[in-house]
Amino acid sequence: MKFNRYLVFYIILGLGLVTSWILVGKRARIAPDLGVRIMSVDDACRPFQAPCGAYAQHFALVLGPVGDGHALRLVGEQLPPDARLSALQYDDKAQQLEPPLFKSLEGGTWRLEPAREAVRVRVNLVSGRNQWLAEFPLASRERRFSASR
């Protein structure tokens, strides 16, 4: 009698596991592969003082001061052939601000001017079906301090 109870219990348990695996497998096949990759950024990144990079496997995005502004440059061995960049900026309360001034220049360079209250900039690079995200921290307090002198 006990043997039958255990047998029924394990059959029900097995059917439940098989059903859940089938449902999870179907959902996994439905979800598209977006190809989003997060780029690793330098630990001591201070792009308003010195250039710093966000690294992918075969290329990097480098943000740093250039002349009277700031430039974002795409460098590396195998650059994405049709790279399109966009940027978002956030304040210290993680609120999204208006998009920064962002202008394409020649030679894989973009001019980037974030707002004074921005504490981080998220750069989105798209090439074909692939996408890379890099988030650069900004030293906004140091910029305000040096601008007030």
Q: Tens of pLDDT along 57-113?
A: 888 999 988 776 778 888 887 887 788 888 999 998 888 999 888 888 877 788 888
Specify whether 12 is located in the same domain as 80.
no
Q: In the chain, how many domains are there?
A: 2
Specify whether 112 is located in the same domain as 43.
yes
Specify whether 67 is located in the same domain as 80.
yes
Report the distance separating Cα 109 and Cα 105, nearest Å: 5
Specify whether 23 is located in the same domain as 76.
no
Residue closest to 71 by CA, chosen among 81, 80, 61: 61
Specify whether 101 is located in the same domain as 136.
yes
Helix (H) or strand (E) holding 9: helix 2-30
Provide the residue range defining the domain that includes 104. Answer: 36-148
- Write down the pTM of the prediction: 0.67
Percentages (nearest 5) of helix, strand, coil residues in the chain: 25, 40, 35
What CATH number is associated with residue 89? 2.60.40
- In degrees and rounded to multiples of 5, residue 81 shows phi and psi of -65, -35
Specify whether 89 is located in the same domain as 137.
yes
Specify whether 59 is located in the same domain as 129.
yes
Q: Tokens 């439940």 label which residue?
A: 16
